[in-house]
Structure 1
Amino acid sequence: MQVQRLGWQALPDGSRAIFLLDLGSGSDWQQALAQLRRRNPASQLIALGLDSEFALMRDALRHGCDHCFPRQMSHPAIVAHILELQDSQQEDAYRVLIVDDSVTAHALIRRALAEQGVETRALTDPAQVLDALRDFQPDLLLLDMYMPGCNGVEVARIIRQHPEYLSTPIVYLSGETDLALQVEALRLGGDHFLTKPFNPVFLNAIVKSKIERYRALRRSMLHDSLTGLLNHTSSKSQLDMALEQCRQQQKPLCVAMLDIDHFKQVNDRYGHPVGDQIIRSLAWLLKKRVRHSDILGRYGGEEFLLALPGASLSQGFAVLELLRQDFAAIHHPYGDGYFQLSFSCGMAAFPAISSREDLIQAADDALYRAKRGGRNRVECA
């Protein structure tokens, strides 16, 4: 078995890494894989180039692999999956909103979840749940069934009236043991039912598994499948929230629209798979160079949106000008040689322009001035 190690941001003891494995054709790889798993319990083990055989994948997963990439998976798809895996390991802590009228219950639940690094917020008044959802953006809700003036089922039904919370997991945590009532509660908006007193280990297992699936679903809904960046709709939604926050905090915000120069010629000359890889290349460059708080999305085709909260127009220009120079210096391999590309960029800023629509339009107008001015340049509104 051949092993290649890729690192991500490791824990202080260096125990987390990605291992790429070629299991080979022999019969001794199972023992070697199991030993590697035992030595690196917190790492991700990925088997490359497997035949799509049930028994082979079963044995690879059984002996310690986390992921199996079939032989027919393309190299760009493998790279994209590994980058997505790295990003998922650097996600924010899980967030849970607790709605229960008992302060004692709050303390027990929060203590149990805190042991696994889960962030929590607790409410005793269910009427505050919608405000808390908007402010805290939880990954999961823990609801008591019976509270003064409102029960958990009513809270769940109110939450489900809002489309943005339709997929947010709701777990009832209650002393209710009547099976018929539990089933009815699940039918009316819940996803799981746990009875009090709860087992802390089981509670954490349920919470973490539900959140992992929820975040995976949200990634597929909100992100572009080719690049992993925000898609068109979620880019605008995130920009709306960032604008409101900057307005409240009286901070600037810079918006940039980027477009790859002469992209149609790339598709015509080298083919659409190469064109897709160029789009990925720019997406990966941008993703690795912007801050976690910045908004980065594929706006459409070869066009990208980048928003920099807290940055003035001049500060944003400095960032985008450096990115423009670095992208233009990349050698994109093709056959025995390589080719180079560039992007053009238009920029606008809040508070000089106050609405999301006007910001994007002004940045887009500046982008077209950059195109008309010779391309491979950054223009400001």
Structure 2
Amino acid sequence: MKDRRRFLAPRDLWDAGTIEAWLEEKAAQGWILEKWGISARFERIDPCRCRVRLDPKDRRNRQQQAEAETLYRDMGWRWNGTLWFYDVYYCFDPTASDLYTDPETQAWAWGKLLKRALWRSGLSGLLLLLWAALQFDGLWSGHAVQLFLMGMWAIWLFVILYVVREVWEAVRTVWGIRRLKRRLAAGVPMERGDPARAVRRQRIRQIADWTAIALLAGWILVIACGREEMPLSDAPSPLPCVALEALDPEAAGPELDIARYETFDGLLIQSRRVTQFRWQPSASVQAELDRVALVSFAEALYRERVGAFLDAWPNAEVRELTDGRFDQAVVIGAGKNQLFAARLGRMVLTERAETDTDLMDHLDGFAAVLVEFQ
């Protein structure tokens, strides 16, 4: 028979009375608290009736704490570790006096606990908001729409739900301690809830937490598995772009430093990307063809791609196209750096090229790509 065992414990740590009742039930079943961590670990004892009290920590200095522990021990109370910011005391003598003579005296201890809870909640809230802000830094990267479509929406949703839950738990903790302090100050003894109900509530939370974590991990795996990269020579034909060989055959002649083909298949977007690059003499093509779930997403993605290029080249020449083969289209040029962007329904084609060739001369090729991949 095992001498140690872990139990799922109530986690509303502001509800001290219910936790005390739960620990007393465990003692009656033959288990006494050994350590409180992710789960509560108990060691076996002879089943017995006892009283358990949670005493708020850090309301005394070191000398006062030592004197209090000596007094409690003389009164018949056994210190049995810490739980959150409580000391846990057991008493197996039914005739021993309680730790506090009356609720009013006990209220003083919970007043100190309330101040500590407020301080901790404020600090943890600031750290939580800082962490959340770091998760949303992509919103200011100039590629928020693309990140959203490629799966970050699920991660952002998880962050929002997690932050809301943690803030709610912090508010409940502070409110619960304040309510308990007021109750004690009014001379009303600490109430005790149903331990079994508290454990069921914690089990539901735990299931929800692990389900959310599993879904998030699965989604990250789906995103990772949706990506594929290969040499451009191994890419399926036709290519989702007007390649450098067609734009500028002379520039494409020498061997390229980079010739890569990438794909991404997600829930909201299917993306194909071609990269051709050479240092000397300099020439490059970066093309992306995306099919998204909704026309509104395509419009947002088109605007984002055009805006990102204009942010990099604010003085570039912008030539809007009125061509029946495209719903929206533009050619932007800043010397050798040029961008062609077009939308046709839910399809968005963007091709950024560094070449002396004017991209306006290749509209037929761009239109053919959009028709081919419809």
Please indicate, yes or no, whether the TM-score normalized by the shorter chain is above 0.5: no
**Band the TM-score falls in, shorter-chain normalisation:** under 0.3
